[in-house]
Amino acid sequence: MQDREGLKPIDWLVTSIKPALSSIIAILGSIIAGSIVLALSGIDPAFAYYTIFYEALATDFGITKTLVEMTPLLITAVGLLVCFRAGIWNIGAQGQMLIGTLFANVVGYSLGPLPTPIILPIVLVAGAIAGAAWALPPAILKAKLGINEVITTLLLNFVAINLIKFLIKGPLRNVAEEHPQTYPIVKSAYMPTFFGTQIHVGILLAFVIAAAIYFLMVWTKLGFQFKILGESIKAARYVGLPISRLIILAFIISGGAAGFAGAIQLTAVMRNVNPAWAPGYGLEAVPLVFIAKMNPIAVIPLSILFAVFLVGTDIMHRTTGVPVYFIEIFLGIMLLLFAVSEVVQRFRVRKVREAGV
Amino acid sequence: MVGITKTFPGVVANKDVDFEAYYGEVHGLLGENGAGKSTLMNILAGFYRPDKGEIWVNGKHVKIKSPKDAIKLGIGMVYQHFSLVKKLTVLENVMLAITTNSFKIPRQSKIAEEIEKTAQSLGFSIDPYAVVADLSVGEQQRVEIIKILIRGSNIIILDEPTSILSPVEVSGLFEVLRRLARDGKTIIFITHKLEEVMAICDRVTVLRAGRKVGTLTRDEMKSAQRLVTMIFGSEITTERFDKRALSHSVREVLRAENLVVENDLGVNAVNGLNLVVHEGEILGIAGIEGNGQLELAEALAGVRPIKSGSIYFKGRKLAKPNPMLMYSLGVRYITEDRIGEGLIPSFNITENLILKSHRDNNFINSWFIPWTKGQKLAEQIISEYNIIARGPSSVASTLSGGNLQKLLVARELMHNPTLIIANQPTHGLDIKTTQYIHRKFVEQASNGSSILLISNDLGEVMKLSDRIAVMYNGRIVGVFDRENADREAIGRLMIGHGIS
Ligand SMILES: Nc1ncnc2c1ncn2[C@@H]1O[C@H](COP(=O)(O)OP(=O)(O)OP(=O)(O)O)[C@@H](O)[C@H]1O
Ligand SMILES: [Mg+2]
């Protein structure tokens, strides 16, 4: 009926780049803005970026560290992705991770020295269960009473931070140590590593989980229903989806992922918890998922990129004295740029949509 | 507009279109679904930029790069889906529309006065302090028009403005449009209804497959058949269904007893309604919009909870109807809200097609979604309903209004339903597609499906129905067999005359 031409390559390029446009702008823009900040503090930006990438990717030590840092980020991010896709703004991953880690820690020393293939999965699953449990109150409040989850999950972050401080200094304190900290997990619960490096099995698990979430969102009925719910609650009602159940399930998946990520960190890196431990993964994963545009594949390279910057700036800080908060400025600018370019784009899209019928 | 060409990835929406409208005329823009009408007007209103072509306004060659430019040139557009903020008052909406370009906020009382004056000059009245959500769609449309006029528009585009209006509101709108034309404004009017074109347009331009077919003056468009041929490129025979054998089935499919259903505001919109639908019949619901039809449809589809009363399906009382239960009983629901409820704009055709049936174990019996199966289904539906789209993975928001409607109807007619609840099923469809859907309905009914047809268009109801039930104030106030259906009597009941 219509002159219908096949999709030209240039069209294809445009249509495939367009969705990623604001993410690309955000990343490139923050690198540029970051160089201005660096230049203003009297550091050669080219040298700084070279150092960041070199240290994080080109040395054995750096690349190991990058992968280790990427692991909790990636797992938390794919969990959050499920929630965000379902239109649920869980920003309590930080608290869910803390609680998950602490519980995994307790399980990891109180079960006694069982063989690794038994105890390690138990500890990891314990982390996931505790993380999911911590996500449950906001989930139920939202599903049953419609209470806004942004507020409840955020508040529970503070509750979690203070709760674990209290527990570590009080009931769970390792009395043998001078500074407050918990008992370490038993040796057999340590995450195995490859060939004496620090590259551990948890890194593989992170990729497996990311693949599983991709599969969930793209190929399963459940993932499809999350997407319907996230796109339009009206459509979800029209279709008759079990909305409360989906909300609770999304919370459980993302809380569980955060707790699992914490348990991996515990078994692979930390071995016990001290009150100074304040992981940023749960917070960093939020902008990460947005900048990945909630795409389960894009989350992987972005987690690596985030990890590169985290590790690179950390090493650079130690060697050249660039302030550590550079990374925070950097991520802040990235999120800001992303938000602005999204709003600009969305505004145009919205106008076109209004017009579109 | 000269030589306008606009392509979207893979689709040429407009090709070398010349379009000309004079001051003081009502200019109709016709064409089948997906012909490129909305696109052409969106170019004029600055929402799309043409790939090629020139626009001349007032004899001057202009470049319209954004809606702002269009507004400056006095071009205003009323969309099918209004751009009013529902929670704000009429006055606040108008203020929003006129203050976007400056920091100076005009005095409220002055604008309120201006709203009242403008309304008066158009022959109606409107309360500037009324909240938009409380207005009827017809009134909201007037607010849109006033908004555009106060913004200083001389060229007013209306994209399918009548499809949501009741007949009374349509004649009210025409009165307004005539006045505006008399004042020297240019009205561009998109529609699929030829009788409306005949009633109001001074000239019409017809598009087909993105190209202009021609422009006719009032004298030239005397015969509807000529327009039809221009629109579709061939004649179409109008089918009559009213001669088909009446369904005399007495086997009952659905029964509602003393049904009470609340609307969103908590008012009983359906208020003690009794209704029976028989197997294989088309039961039309005639009534003026807002008499509880929406709430009735939603309650029967299980989307809206019932407050009291009962629903029986094939004699069995349903304890708590819900969409999943109704679906499994074979009840399908064509909602009037196609964007956001019936279809998801950001989903592609395949995803929208399996929106409901992915939960149906007869269709997909596993946890996983076999996308290739869905895609095949989509391909089949696209060709069967002649949906103009690049393919199964075209995103719904890139489809034209009519093609979206086809998709929605197609989905609900799949898998031989038992009962189809159809609310404004031909909303926004061109004549040919409307006929196609009508034929489908009749075909389904003769295969034993029942259809509950709710429509603002009394003509549509009378043409298709075996029985016609008139709904007024949340109740059925009269039921006619097709043979005894009398337009006058139905019309009187619709406005509540002669009801004790
Ligand atoms: N944003 C878009 N992206 C891709 N294709 C589009 C877009 N908007 C419109 N199209 C395509 O352009 C063609 C013309 O669409 P348009 O909306 O102008 O049709 P229309 O004449 O208004 O039809 P209807 O009567 O159904 O509303 C259609 O094939 C449509 O799918
Ligand atoms: Mg249109």
Question: Which ligand 1 atom sits nearest the alpha carbon of residue B42?
Answer: 18
Ligand 1 pocket, residue B39 CB under 6 Å: yes
Ligand 1 pocket, residue B405 CB under 6 Å: no
Range in A13-17, B87-91, B372-376 the model is least confident about: A13-17
* Mean pLDDT of all residues in B130-140: 80
CB of B188 closer than 8 Å to CB of B157: yes
Question: Which ligand 1 atom sits nearest the alpha carbon of residue B430?
Answer: 25
> From ligand 2's centre to the CA of B38, what distance in Å?
4
CA pair distance B473, B421, nearest whole angstrom? 20
* Mean pLDDT, chain B, whole residue set: 88
CB of A186 closer than 8 Å to CB of A108: yes
Range in A78-87, A133-142, A165-174 the model is least confident about: A165-174
Which alpha helices (DSSP H) does chain A contain, by range? 9-17, 21-40, 45-53, 60-85, 93-110, 116-145, 149-169, 201-219, 221-231, 233-239, 243-265, 281-291, 299-320, 326-355
pLDDT in the model for residue A3: 35
HEC letters along A320-355 = HCCCCCHHHHHHHHHHHHHHHHHHHHHHHHHHHHHH
Are A357 and B351 an interchain contact pair (Cβ–Cβ within 8 Å)?
no
CA pair distance B468, B283, nearest whole angstrom? 6
Provide the token pair at A143.
């599903």
Residue A8 pLDDT greater than 60, yes or no: no
Are A356 and B38 an interchain contact pair (Cβ–Cβ within 8 Å)?
yes
Mutate to test the pocket of ligand 1, among B212, B213, B400, B405 (most ligand atoms within 8 A of CB): B400
Question: Using a CB cutoff of 8 Å and minimum separation of 24, what contacts does B195-200 make?
Answer: B195/B224, B196/B162, B196/B170, B197/B28, B197/B30, B197/B221, B197/B227, B198/B224, B199/B174, B200/B26, B200/B28, B200/B174
Measured between CA atoms, the residue of chain A closest to residue B326 is: A240
Q: Which residues pair with B252 in a beta bridge?
A: B278
**Residues, CB within 5 angstroms of ligand 2 (ion):** B 38, 400-401
The protein residue whose alpha carbon is closest to atom 7 in ligand 1 is B398
pLDDT in the model for residue A82: 97
Three-state DSSP class for residue A104: helix
Q: Is A176 on the interface with B (CB under 8 A)?
A: no
Mutate to test the pocket of ligand 1, among B17, B162, B398 (most ligand atoms within 8 A of CB): B398
CA pair distance B120, A277, nearest whole angstrom? 70
Are B9 and A11 an interchain contact pair (Cβ–Cβ within 8 Å)?
yes
pLDDT tens digits along A223-235: 999 999 999 999 9
CA pair distance A177, A168, nearest whole angstrom? 12
CB of B253 closer than 8 Å to CB of B314: yes
pLDDT tens digits along A39-53: 888 888 888 888 889
pLDDT tens digits along A125-169: 999 999 999 999 999 999 999 999 999 999 999 999 999 999 998
Q: Which residues pair with B423 in a beta bridge?
A: B454
* Mean pLDDT of all residues in A307-330: 82
Three-state DSSP class for residue A182: strand
Rg (CA), chain A: 22
* Mean pLDDT, chain A, whole residue set: 88
CB of B351 closer than 8 Å to CB of A202: no
Are B323 and A239 an interchain contact pair (Cβ–Cβ within 8 Å)?
yes
Angstroms from B47 CA to nearest CA on chain A? 6
Question: Using a CB cutoff of 8 Å and minimum separation of 24, what contacts does B375-380 make?
Answer: B375/B350, B377/B350, B377/B353, B377/B414, B378/B349, B378/B350, B378/B353
Ligand 1 pocket, residue B402 CB under 6 Å: yes
Q: Is A356 on the interface with B (CB under 8 A)?
A: yes
* Ligand lying closest to the C-alpha of residue B205: 1
Angstroms from B211 CA to nearest CA on chain A? 9
Backbone angles phi, psi at A130, to 5 degrees: -65, -40
Residues of B whose CB is below 8 A from A11? 9-10
Residue A5 pLDDT greater than 50, yes or no: no
Under 8 Å CB pairs connecting chains A and B tally to: 121
CB of B18 closer than 8 Å to CB of B50: no
pLDDT in the model for residue A334: 86
Are A239 and B359 an interchain contact pair (Cβ–Cβ within 8 Å)?
yes
Find the largest Cα–Cα distance for chain B: 70
* Mean pLDDT of all residues in B126-134: 84
> From ligand 2's centre to the CA of B402, what distance in Å?
7
Using CB atoms, pick whichever of B327, B359, B397 lies closest to residue A356: B397
pLDDT band at B172 (very low <50, low <70, confident <90, very high): confident
Q: Is A245 on the interface with B (CB under 8 A)?
A: no
Are A240 and B302 an interchain contact pair (Cβ–Cβ within 8 Å)?
yes
- Start-to-end CA distance of chain B, whole Å, equals 57
> From ligand 1's centre to the CA of B34, what distance in Å?
5
CA A348, A289, A37, A46 torsion: positive or negative? negative
The protein residue whose alpha carbon is closest to atom 29 in ligand 1 is B34
Provide the token pair at B349.
């055709």
Angstroms from B433 CA to nearest CA on chain A? 14
Ligand 1 pocket, residue B42 CB under 6 Å: no
Angstroms from B345 CA to nearest CA on chain A? 9
Three-state DSSP class for residue A169: helix
**CB count, 10 Å around CB of B381?**
21
pLDDT in the model for residue B27: 94
pLDDT band at B107 (very low <50, low <70, confident <90, very high): confident
CA pair distance B78, A75, nearest whole angstrom? 47
pLDDT tens digits along A179-221: 889 999 999 999 999 988 889 999 999 999 999 999 999 999 9
Q: Which residues pair with B259 in a beta bridge?
A: B273
Ligand 1 pocket, residue B433 CB under 6 Å: no
pLDDT tens digits along B455-478: 988 888 998 999 999 999 999 999
Range in A154-168, A272-286, B397-411 the model is least confident about: A272-286
Provide the token pair at B411.
């989905």
Cα–Cα distances (Å) from A338 to A285, A289, A333, A353, in that order, read 15, 12, 8, 21
Q: Write the DSSP string, A284-310.
A: HHHHHHHHTTT-TTTHHHHHHHHHHHH
Residues of A whose CB is below 8 A from B373? none
Nearest to A154 by CA among A95, A73, A78, A209: A95
**CB count, 10 Å around CB of A202?**
27
Residue B287 pLDDT greater than 80, yes or no: yes
Q: What is the pTM of this model?
A: 0.89
Convert B29-49 to b/e letters by CB count within 10 Å (16 or more is b): bbbbbbbbbbbbbbbbbbbbe
Provide the token pair at A179.
């500074």
> From ligand 1's centre to the CA of A321, what distance in Å?
58
Residues of B whose CB is below 8 A from A220? 367-369
The CA-based angle B276-B308-B335, given to 5 degrees, is: 60
Are A352 and B67 an interchain contact pair (Cβ–Cβ within 8 Å)?
no
Residues of A whose CB is below 8 A from B401? 356-357
Element (H, E) at A56: none
Angstroms from B42 CA to nearest CA on chain A? 6
Amino acid residing at B434: T
CA pair distance B6, A325, nearest whole angstrom? 49
Residue A14 pLDDT greater than 60, yes or no: yes
pLDDT tens digits along B317-341: 998 899 999 999 999 999 988 888 9
